[in-house]
Amino acid sequence: MKPKEIDLGFRIDEEKVMKLDLPAEEISISEIFYNADIPYLEKEGTDDWNLSPNELIKNFKNEPTHADWVDKVDLKFPIAIYKFRDKWIIIDGVHRFTKSLMFKNKTILVKKIPDELIETLKI
């Protein structure tokens, strides 16, 4: 079951998110740091929302699939965030966010998805 903090009530089409023509901006990681404790991912061998970016960092060697993704992502590409229940949540880019945390970056490049576009991203 998807965590309530990020459960929009529908699935997002990631390809559509990547194609959004929105301006990218640099924000402080501190503005979205609470996302580090939200279980966006699945632990190896499970099919559940049970691995947060912070847990991934702590158990990096035990999560080879996600570790490989984190190693390969390019931080020049922005993550996509959406304001949900008064907090910015990550719609696309959890592995890039995790890498930014690992590198102790102070800022991250984001694209903010406005309310009027979120419906167009439904699957």
Instruction: Determine the Cα–Cα distance for residues 35 and 27; give it in Å rounded to an integer.
Output: 14
Phi, psi of 50 (to 5 degrees): -140, 15
DSSP E strands in the chain: the ranges are 24-28, 79-84, 87-92, 107-113
> What is the overall mean pLDDT for the chain?
96
The pLDDT-based confidence of 59 (bands split at 50, 70, 90) is very high
Return the pLDDT at 1. Answer: 77
> How many angstroms separate the CA atoms of 107 and 78, rounded?
11
pLDDT at 2 over 90: no
Answer whether residue 58 shows pLDDT above 80. yes
User: What is the distance between the terminal CA atoms of the chain, rounded to a whole angstrom?
Assistant: 18
Share of the chain above pLDDT 90, in %: 96
What is the Rg, in whole angstroms, of the alpha carbon atoms belonging to the chain? 14
pLDDT of residue 121: 95
Rounded average pLDDT over 37-61 = 96
Domains of the chain plus CATH, in order, are 14-121 (3.90.1530)
**pLDDT on residue 6:** 94
Average pLDDT over residues 82-110: 97
Average pLDDT for 44-65: 96
Is the CA virtual torsion 21, 27, 29, 34 positive or negative? Answer: negative
Kindly report the pTM of this predicted structure.
0.95
